């Protein structure tokens, strides 16, 4: 069972005295192979996936209890209430949520001009956050593949949350890594999904130019009590080895990678995904990535079981800055089908057609999309040789 480092009790709460926060060591959340749950996690048939209605893993309990305490302590920019939610009528199944406060109170994005922009210590970064914003550190036991590449991954609250339990996974913040996906960060993100018993705990990554607002390496993780289209959307294979698939039935087709869980298969997937994101970053192509429990590739349906983890990668047009006039901005969760909407009027008037148009406006031109697809297929083929 996952435990805090050097302790038999789970305690990720801050001491009552604010002055003691600086002196409290960051607790470790230690986990091993047995804590990564690859199968048997499904949506309830007759109930929504609210946190209280589902069993919690040690990871869920640690994250949710610590996150809730930070809410009570007022460490967020706003107090997240239950968000008004609707499933947009239509074939896609968009989950739209009204989150006015995030649209108004979130930190303004940094000035980004390049997908490969260097880290700037003078800009806001995660070395400048309050001590109480750090919940715990992910610590992998030696029985897991890749442990020799162990990195300190801090789990930090997102002070402008999209949804309940919205955290950031920040690898070794003192190193000043720019927002470019690395294997250790992706491994932590996938393993976080496998550590949760909630089918709606997802993780994602926005590149620079893909609406990352801070140029300091981080992934997002959060709970959403709704199915999303990407979990079971059908796909077709693109390479002979079956490692790369094209996700279909969505406004923006994505590249689908799939693993049944921990082990060598997962390590191979991490290498393939990072080779793909390196290719995109090296060519100044913005991208978004989404990690969720999902069905295997191929022909699927709404009844398909969530037997593994889907990692979906979208190459997209670069967008530097926030478009204030739009109902929503297109990044990792919007491409996956979760639409946080900024105003009541837009929420009331939003249609599937309007959402599809906004998302499709971020797609690469057809000729460039074909070039990227061919290049990624070639990368996967090289691995087989």
pLDDT exceeds 70 at position 384: no
pLDDT exceeds 70 at position 215: yes
Tell me the mean pLDDT in the region 344-348: 96
Q: Is residue 192 part of a domain?
A: yes
pLDDT exceeds 70 at position 4: no
Q: Is residue 12 part of a domain?
A: no
Asked about 218 being catalytic, the answer comes back as: yes
Taking Cα atoms as reference points, which of 234, 259, 231 lies closest to residue 246? 234
Inter-axis angle of helices 183-195 and 264-282, to 10 degrees? 130
pLDDT exceeds 90 at position 85: yes
Q: Is residue 15 part of a domain?
A: no
**From CA 220, how far away is CA 345, in angstroms rounded?**
27
Tell me the mean pLDDT in the region 114-119: 97
Domain of 371, CATH number, reads 3.30.428.70
Q: Is residue 8 part of a domain?
A: no
pLDDT exceeds 90 at position 23: no
Please give the pLDDT value at position 147.
56
Proportion of the chain in helix, strand, coil states, percent, rounded to 5: 30, 20, 50
**Tokens coding 385:** 């040789």
| Residue 149 banded pLDDT, cuts 50, 70, 90 | low
Please give the pLDDT value at position 152.
87
Count of CB atoms situated within 10 Å of the CB of 18: 12
Q: Is residue 121 part of a domain?
A: yes
**From CA 304, how far away is CA 295, in angstroms rounded?**
6
Please give the pLDDT value at position 50.
67
The chain-wide mean pLDDT, for the chain, equals 91
Please give the pLDDT value at position 382.
82
Q: In what order do the strands lie in the sheet with 85-87?
A: 85-87, 95-98, 338-341
- The model's pTM: 0.94
Tell me the mean pLDDT in the region 110-132: 94
| Residue 20 banded pLDDT, cuts 50, 70, 90 | confident
| Residue 110 banded pLDDT, cuts 50, 70, 90 | confident
For 322-332, how does the pLDDT look when each residue is reduced to its tens digit (9 = 90+)? Answer: 667 789 999 99
Q: Is residue 14 part of a domain?
A: no
Q: Is residue 90 part of a domain?
A: yes
For residue 350, the enclosing domain spans 26-43+52-381
Which residue of the set 218, 220, 243, 338 is catalytic? Answer: 218
CB–CB of 136/12 below 8 Å? yes
Could you give the number of structural domains in the chain?
Answer: 1
Count of CB atoms situated within 10 Å of the CB of 34: 11
Q: Is residue 9 part of a domain?
A: no
Please give the pLDDT value at position 141.
87
CB–CB of 124/110 below 8 Å? yes
């Amino acid at each position: 069972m996952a435990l805090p480092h050097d302790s038999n009790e789970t305690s990720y709460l801050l001491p009552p005295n604010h002055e003691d926060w600086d002196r409290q060591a960051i607790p470790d959340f230690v986990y091993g192979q047995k804590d990564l749950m690859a199968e048997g996690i499904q949506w309830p048939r007759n109930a929504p996936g609210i946190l209280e209605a589902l069993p919690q893993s040690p990871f869920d309990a640690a994250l949710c209890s610590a996150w809730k305490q930070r809410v009570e302590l007022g460490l967020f920019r706003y107090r997240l209430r239950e968000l008004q939610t609707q499933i947009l009528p239509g074939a896609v199944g968009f989950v739209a949520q009204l989150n006015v406060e995030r649209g108004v109170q979130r930190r303004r994005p940094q000035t980004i001009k390049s997908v490969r922009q260097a880290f700037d210590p003078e800009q806001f970064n995660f070395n400048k956050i309050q001590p109480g914003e750090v919940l715990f550190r992910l610590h992998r036991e030696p029985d897991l593949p890749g442990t020799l590449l162990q990195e300190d991954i801090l789990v930090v609250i997102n002070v402008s949350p999209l949804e309940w339990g919205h955290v950031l996974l920040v690898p070794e913040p003192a190193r000043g890594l720019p927002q470019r996906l690395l294997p250790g960060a992706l491994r932590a993100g996938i393993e976080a999904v496998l550590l949760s018993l909630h089918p709606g705990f997802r993780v994602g990554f926005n590149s620079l130019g893909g609406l990352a607002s801070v140029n300091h390496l981080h992934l997002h993780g959060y709970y959403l009590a709704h199915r999303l289209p990407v979990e079971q959307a059908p796909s077709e294979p693109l390479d002979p080895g079956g490692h790369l698939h094209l996700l279909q039935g969505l406004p923006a087709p994505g590249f689908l990678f799939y693993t049944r869980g921990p082990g060598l298969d997962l390590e191979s997937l991490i290498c393939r995904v990072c080779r793909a994101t390196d290719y995109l970053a090296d060519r100044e192509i913005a991208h978004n990535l989404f990690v969720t429990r999902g069905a295997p590739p191929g022909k699927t349906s709404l009844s398909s079981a969530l037997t593994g983890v889907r990692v979906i990668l979208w190459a997209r047009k670069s967008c530097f800055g926030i478009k204030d006039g739009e109902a929503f901005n297109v990044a990792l969760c919007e491409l996956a089908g979760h639409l946080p909407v900024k105003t009541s009027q837009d929420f009331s008037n939003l249609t599937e057609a309007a959402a599809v148009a906004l998302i499709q406006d971020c797609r690469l031109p057809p000729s460039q999309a074909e070039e990227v697809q061919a290049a990624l297929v070639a990368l996967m083929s090289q691995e087989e040789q």
